[in-house]
């Protein structure tokens, strides 16, 4: 059997974690089986569908780094891959069900349906929904009413007093009594637009979809789809309803838990590798004792047999850990390229939006080695290294003074540190550390007492990226100027 699966989003909102997890699992399954991964846009909700959301979908998966084999932007043998371009197909197949007696025309007005719902609610009726009022209309009466100008919907004639049973690839055998299903759902609206159920089944069949991997929230729709497959005389695909994604509180993941749209994660400075790696583990396992996977490794290891039935818990702290790891694995040059837009936006090189000049760009790249171990997100980087590009204000005298020392001794230590700047500016970290340790020993001072005032003078704070790297990036001249400025401030206290 040729493996073909699909991601079929409705372009009515931004791409979010749940949708991306579904797309990723379909992609991984197709790749693990040598099959094809298809994108289909289910844009039948014309009031909410928007071209901006389609573009967001394309941008999201370009950023994540994986794409479909067939789709609206790539073409393929079973297009079009946009449902709004397939309406003639749906009308033809709905009409075929009418002719088979598996569906019927319904002329109930919106006012009648509203009154029916109100009546059922008032009576606290056990059976709710459509009352199958038009189910027994004769074909002749339906034809006459259409000829008279009435615009009906087409409803599925659900076989009553039967049970629909199927085997879900993950959940096992599931059965539903047909009389507990939505009563005779609409397949084709009066304006000719299909509903989700009809379009989904027709498209999956015509596109040769062999496996449907989707969220468990779609499980109640599956019996209706299986009835449709039976009515058409088609073999259904293998269904696999993926485990839910919950927050730490055990409730369905939503904005109240934190970022959920991929745009939010991007703006916060998550790396696509981290997001893919973590999302791939939400409800699936791969290899004991291994946490970090490339996309190719995930493709080779993915298996439906390794999916978990239990809901997956989305832990933002765990995702942050993954982001930490991937930031640390970047080369300084690669990390600088990723972080530069955040620096430009933050006004690191002048007014916000100003691009760096060659010297600033070189300093920015060199600074990555200083902060790589100190950040979890790309957006944190500009503030961590702003002192390299703008003169930090001179802190209060108390910030310079080491514990158990006074201001006069601090001034002496800072003067001593100034004399060390020129050799420190050209030494590597190991040589610089050995050099300053030896000088502290010669002067009879504690290493920490010597380094702290120097750090504050150069960076404006006691807590900063590594001192030796800072001196090398600033250079001996700028470093010396900052120390002199600090000494002048301290002497004026």
Q: Which residues are catalytic?
A: 255
Q: Which helix (H) or strand (E) holds 166?
A: strand 163-168
User: In a 10 Å sphere around its CB, with 0-12 CB exposed, 13-18 middle and 19+ buried, how is residue 353 labelled?
Assistant: exposed
Residue tagged 């750090």 (tokens): 455
Whole-angstrom Cα distance, residue 67 to residue 76?
Answer: 14
Angle at 16 between CA 10 and CA 17, to 5 degrees: 125
The count of C-alpha atoms lying within 13 angstroms of the C-alpha of 355, restricted to the half-sphere facing its C-beta, is: 3
Whole-angstrom Cα distance, residue 95 to residue 417?
Answer: 88
Is 134 in contact with 106 (CB distance < 8 Å)?
yes
Q: Which helix (H) or strand (E) holds 439?
A: helix 429-443
Is 474 in contact with 482 (CB distance < 8 Å)?
yes
Is 25 in contact with 240 (CB distance < 8 Å)?
no
Residue tagged 């369905």 (tokens): 252
Whole-angstrom Cα distance, residue 14 to residue 257?
Answer: 17
Is 28 in contact with 302 (CB distance < 8 Å)?
yes
Whole-angstrom Cα distance, residue 252 to residue 249?
Answer: 9
């Amino acid at each position: 059997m040729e493996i073909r699966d699909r991601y079929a989003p409705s372009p009515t909102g931004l791409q979010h974690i749940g949708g991306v997890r579904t797309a990723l699992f379909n992609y991984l399954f197709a790749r693990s089986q040598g099959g094809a991964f298809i994108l289909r846009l289910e844009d039948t909700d014309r009031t909410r569908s928007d071209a901006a959301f389609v573009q967001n979908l394309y941008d999201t998966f370009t950023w994540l780094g994986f794409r479909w084999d067939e789709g609206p932007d790539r073409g393929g043998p079973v297009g079009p891959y946009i449902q709004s371009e397939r309406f003639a197909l749906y009308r033809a197949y709905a009409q075929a069900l009418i002719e088979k007696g598996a569906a019927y025309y319904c002329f109930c007005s919106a006012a009648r349906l509203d009154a029916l719902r109100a009546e059922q609610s008032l009576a606290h009726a056990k059976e709710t929904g459509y009352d199958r009022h038009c189910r027994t209309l004769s074909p002749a009466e339906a034809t006459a009413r259409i000829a008279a100008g009435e615009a009906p919907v087409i409803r599925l004639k659900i076989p009553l007093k039967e049970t629909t049973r199927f085997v879900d690839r993950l959940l096992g055998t599931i059965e539903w009594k047909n009389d507990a299903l939505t009563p005779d759902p609409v397949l084709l609206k009066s304006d000719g637009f299909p509903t989700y159920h009809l379009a989904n089944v027709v498209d999956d069949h015509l596109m040769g979809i062999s496996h449907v991997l989707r969220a468990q929230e779609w499980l109640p729709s599956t019996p209706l789809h299986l009835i449709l497959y039976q009515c058409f005389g088609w073999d259904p695909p293998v269904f696999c309803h993926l485990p839910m994604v919950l927050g730490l509180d055990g409730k369905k993941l939503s904005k109240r838990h934190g970022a959920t749209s991929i745009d939010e994660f991007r703006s916060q400075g998550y790396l696509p590798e981290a997001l893919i790696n973590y999302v791939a583990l939400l409800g699936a396992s791969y290899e004991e004792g291994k946490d970090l996977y490339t996309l190719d490794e995930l493709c080779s290891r993915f298996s439906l047999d390794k999916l978990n039935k239990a809901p997956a818990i989305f832990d933002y702290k765990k995702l942050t850990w993954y982001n930490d790891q991937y930031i640390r694995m970047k080369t300084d040059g690669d990390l600088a390229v990723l972080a530069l837009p955040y620096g430009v936006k933050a006004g690191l090189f002048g007014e916000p939006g100003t691009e760096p000049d060659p010297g600033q760009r070189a300093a920015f790249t060199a600074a990555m080695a200083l902060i790589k171990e100190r950040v979890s997100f790309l957006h944190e980087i500009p503030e961590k290294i702003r002192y390299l590009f703008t003169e930090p204000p001179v802190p209060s005298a108390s910030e310079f003074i080491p514990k158990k020392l006074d201001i006069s001794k601090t001034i002496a230590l800072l003067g001593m540190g100034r004399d060390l700047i020129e050799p420190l500016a050209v030494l590597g970290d190991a040589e610089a550390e050995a050099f300053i340790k030896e000088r502290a020993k010669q002067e009879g001072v504690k290493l920490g007492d010597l380094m702290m005032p120097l750090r504050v003078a150069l960076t404006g704070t006691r807590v900063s990226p590594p001192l030796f790297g800072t001196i090398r990036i600033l250079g001996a001249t700028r470093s010396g100027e900052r120390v002199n400025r600090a000494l002048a401030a301290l002497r004026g206290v």
